Amino acid sequence: MTRTGARREARWALGTVLVLGALACGSGGDGAVTLPPGGGAAVAPLDVTGWVAATDGTMPLVIVAPHGGDLVPTELPDRTCAGCETVNDANTRALAIEIADAFARRIGKRPFVVANLLSRRKFDANRDLTEATGSYAPLAPLWTLFHQRIDSAKARAARVHPRALLIDLHGHAHAVPRLELGYLLSAANLRLPDSIVTPLMFASSIARLDSSARSGDAGVVLLRGARSLGTRFAQSGFPAVPSASDPAPAVSDAYFNGGYDTQRHGSQVAGPVDAIQIECNYAGVRDTPAARANFAEAFVTATLAYLADHYGWVPA
Ligand SMILES: [Zn+2]
């Protein structure tokens, strides 16, 4: 098939099945948003700077934790938009911190970490502005600040090394206990034959990597080949989809394929930073301090292999 023909077929496949793709973390999708009381009224500006935590890193990896905050300031209204998800991804900020500490112990270097500190009842840091704030205008500067912090971390990570990776870290409550890796390709996309999935990679959140992986891997091999991130996690004791042993969710399986942050901060549009959403199951991954410490070690092992293989980065 010619490249043009492959692109045409890929766009057909995306257009046909993307509607079936699940959004991140219990999203209500594109439900209508209603203004909370006072949402449109002029009020004094909020000081939002204390609701985002950003820590510097020394390696080409950014970890974002948008759904692990637990602050519920009484001055903020609860989000009441129709269909909005307001349940946190339990312990995912603690997990991000544990992962950063595990990198420091293993290699003496830290990833950049950006975390939203507000409960999802008040703010959803993985949605567009309207749904993130529930149309409460005074929170708009927080949404802007959160993405500025991510943009800054990405820029600095790309100064450490010209190829960098962002992980958007979440938690799911689906029936199958495995990691769900989201590249913006739907479950229906992933169930297609390899020869059809490969040309879809231009629309994935690792589109730049698809054209420039140091390993020479490309296409569907980056999703479920021997050196894919899912396979590396499975080898480290944490089953993942997609991976070599679990190439795609079954038709009956719930699956999150990547949300707003992955769309905005990945490389399907442009830029030197790829993004992957990782949705973590609960038991044995993020439920207890011991589980989080154990998973953090596996995360370091899997991610270091991935960075070495495809980004050409190894700790000095
Ligand atoms: Zn989430």
> pLDDT for 200-235, tens place per residue?
999 999 999 999 999 999 999 999 999 999 999 999
Q: From the CA of 285, how far away is ligand 1's center (Å)?
A: 15
Q: Cα torsion at 83, 31, 120, 190 (round to 10°)?
A: 100
In a domain, 316, yes or no: no
Q: From the CA of 173, how far away is ligand 1's center (Å)?
A: 10
pLDDT digits (tens, 9 = 90+) for 250-288: 999 999 999 999 999 999 988 999 999 999 999 999 999
- Assign residue 264 the CATH number of its domain: 3.40.630
How much is the mean pLDDT over the chain?
90
Please compute the mean of the pLDDT values over residues 68-72 and round it to a whole number. Answer: 98
The residue among 21, 260, 37 whose CA lies nearest residue 131 is 260
In a domain, 78, yes or no: yes
Q: From the CA of 259, how far away is ligand 1's center (Å)?
A: 9
In a domain, 33, yes or no: no
The residue among 182, 188, 174 whose CA lies nearest residue 254 is 174
Residue 143 — very low, low, confident or very high, per pLDDT cuts 50/70/90? very high
In a domain, 192, yes or no: yes
| Terminal-residue alpha carbon distance, the chain | 43
Q: Is the pLDDT of residue 33 over 50?
A: no
Q: How many structural domains are present in the chain? A: 1
Domain of residue 83, residue span: 3-27+46-311
Bigger pLDDT: 26 or 30? 26
pTM beyond 0.75, yes or no: yes
In a domain, 35, yes or no: no
Q: From the CA of 5, how far away is ligand 1's center (Å)?
A: 36
In a domain, 151, yes or no: yes
Q: Are strands 112-116 and 52-55 parallel, antiparallel or unpaired?
A: antiparallel
Q: From the CA of 15, how far away is ligand 1's center (Å)?
A: 25
Q: From the CA of 125, how far away is ligand 1's center (Å)?
A: 9
Q: From the CA of 216, how far away is ligand 1's center (Å)?
A: 32
In a domain, 34, yes or no: no
Q: From the CA of 174, how far away is ligand 1's center (Å)?
A: 12
Please state the length of the chain: 316
In a domain, 10, yes or no: yes
Task: Check if the beta carbon of residue 118 is closer than 8 Å to that of residue 54.
Answer: no
Helix 289-306 with 92-107: angle, nearest 10 deg: 60
